[in-house]
Amino acid sequence: MTNTIATETPLATPQLTLVYEGPIDPAVLEEFRTAVATDGLSLEIRGGTSIRASAWSWLAPTAVILCISKSYFDGLFKELGKAHAPRLDKALRQLGWRLSGLKYWKATAKTVVPIEDRYSPILSVWTERREGGRFKMLIASGLEDAALDAALSAYITFAQAYHTDALEAEDLAILAEARPVGDVTLLAYDQSSGTIQLIDPLEARLP
């Protein structure tokens, strides 16, 4: 299923892309589309496939991925991004609630078992970096609604600050020291500090 909200000026890369695989309820995806829809916003919802096995499990695609392009915040639609971000925040939190009870299964030699990890295999948020590459926002498994809200809202706030030059110099310095794997820099919400933190992908490398 592919759903696109057209814009008057088509973009090569939509500002928002929701990619899914597996038996995701189409109503959940449509709810997200309706929640973020506005004039001038390009959104694509499409099915995708992946090879889930990875030496770094946290770099593997999740069942649902929200991709936010640079243009959402700082390109042609800069003002739209500023005004629309609270709506995206709310829609993303609603999506997180709807997906929070799902299990992702993997095949073994004898049967299929649910994937269990520190971070969810169901939902992640990807955002372009200004200098190239991407951030991947990992979402901790088993979060209660309030903690999930806080994590997703904190990431939208971070992404908007990053792309509108509102991050503190010390935060930019920390990001500059990150060592991406491929073109991906991993981030996650730290509940104790209420902030977005860098994650070392080597922690998740399979033996």
SS (H, E, C) the chain: CCEEECCCCCCCCCCEEEEECCCCCHHHHHHHHHHHCCCCCCEEEEECCCCCCCCEHHHCCCCEEEEECHHHHHCCCHHHHHHHHHHHHHHHHHHHHHHCCCCCEEECCCCEEECCCCECCCEEEEEECCCCCEEEEECECCCCHHHHHHHHHHHHHHHHHHHCCCCCHHHHHHHHCCCCECCEEEEEEECCCCEEEECCHHHHECC
Amino acid 6: pLDDT: 33
State the average pLDDT over residues 84-94: 94
Q: Lowest mean pLDDT: which of 17-26, 31-40, 52-61, 100-109?
A: 100-109
Domain boundaries defined on the chain:
3-204
**Averaged pLDDT, 122-130:** 92
130 pLDDT higher than 50:
yes
Mean of per-residue pLDDT scores for the chain? 81
pLDDT greater than 70 at residue 145: yes
**pLDDT for the residue numbered 103:** 67
Tens of pLDDT along 167-194? Answer: 999 998 888 888 888 889 999 999 999 9
* pTM exceeds cut of 0.85: no
Q: Is the pLDDT of residue 8 over 90?
A: no
Confidence of residue 196 (pLDDT cuts 50, 70, 90): very high
Confidence bin at 59 (pLDDT 50/70/90): confident
Res. 1 pLDDT band, cuts 50 70 90: very low
